[in-house]
């Protein structure tokens, strides 16, 4: 699987439940968080500054999902990336 042009294929990181003061916090707590953390699986040929296996944060409303071999990926444009770790 290979991304083309200015697109990236991302595998979203699963958010682990957090414990705060002995209470288990659910994913609903992060609903206000606008950005999602993910790992880049494939980079289009026109994308600069982002490489495969980079950990990035991107807008949660960006792109669309793609299911391949029982794994869910996200396809986004490079302009939706806000941070590269």
> Which pTM does this prediction carry?
0.80
In this structure, is residue 55 part of a structural domain?
yes
The CA dihedral of 61, 64, 67, 72, to the nearest 10 degrees, is -20
Residue 79: give its domain's CATH number: 2.30.33
Residue pair 63/79 in contact (Cβ under 8 Å)? The answer is no
Q: How far apart are CA 62 and CA 14, in angstroms?
A: 17
What is the chain's pLDDT, residue by residue, as a tens digit (85 residues)? 899 999 999 999 876 666 777 776 665 555 667 899 999 999 999 999 999 999 999 998 999 999 988 889 999 999 999 999 9
- Quote the radius of gyration of the chain (alpha carbons, Å): 14
**pLDDT at residue number 50:** 95
Per the structure, the complete domain to which residue 77 belongs is given by 7-14+33-84
In this structure, is residue 56 part of a structural domain?
yes
Q: How far apart are CA 36 and CA 41, in angstroms?
A: 15
In this structure, is residue 76 part of a structural domain?
yes
Q: How far apart are CA 56 and CA 42, in angstroms?
A: 13
């Amino acid at each position: 699987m290979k991304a083309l042009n200015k697109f990236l294929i991302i595998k979203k990181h699963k958010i682990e439940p957090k414990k705060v003061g002995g209470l288990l916090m659910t994913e609903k707590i992060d609903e206000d968080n606008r950005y999602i953390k993910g790992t880049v699986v494939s980079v289009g040929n026109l994308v600069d500054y982002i490489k495969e296996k980079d950990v990035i944060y991107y807008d949660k409303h960006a792109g669309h999902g793609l299911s391949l071999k029982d794994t869910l990926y996200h396809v986004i444009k490079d302009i939706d990336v806000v941070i590269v770790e």
